[in-house]
Amino acid sequence: MNVEIRTRPATPLVGIALKTSLREERNLREIPAFWRRLSQDGALFRLAAGAPIYGAVIEFDARSRDFTYLAGFEQPAAQPLPQGMQQSELPAGRYAVLTTTPTPPENCGVEIAAGWLHLHRTWLPASGYLRGTGPEFERYDERFHPQRALVELELWLPLGEE
């Protein structure tokens, strides 16, 4: 799995939030179910109007291992907040970026989980970098479309100093 180091500006997001937890691997069940509900409803995708969609881990509590997962899109803070959505920001900084292996859409959950495990358990300890503060996130662009035979996306992990 190839990992690149990239720098990005601060990115304001708006989206729909899910409260979940790493405890008992709830997130591995709840986040895919959340995306299924969002796909069926379609509102998030209509509002994003073809722009990239993000899945960001925000408000992480290391003690309880609970967090909020925000499925959203870029929207300048000056614009009105769509009903039922909340704002967040992906901070400017340096990130490790892993692009997932192209996979059939029905297998993307396995590929995402494998990518996050690789970043946290293999790449980060061997990299010389520290985990930075702020949200880690998935970025779904034109390479991720359920109509495609193979999809891919990016996993972004914030980095601290080497």
Tens of pLDDT, residue by residue over 81-114, are: 778 889 999 999 999 999 999 999 888 889 999 9
Lowest mean pLDDT among 25-29, 49-53, 58-62, 80-84: 80-84
- Residue 95: what residue type? Y
Q: Is the pTM of this model over 0.95?
A: no
Tens-digit pLDDT profile for residues 125-138: 999 999 999 999 99
* Assigned CATH topology for domain 3-158: Multidrug-efflux Transporter 1 Regulator Bmrr; Chain A (3.20.80)
Distance, CA of 139 to CA of 48 (rounded, Å): 13
Closest residue by Cα to residue 60 from 73, 75, 71, 70: 70
**Residue type at 9 in one-letter notation:** P
Count CB-CB contacts under 10 A for residue 45.
15
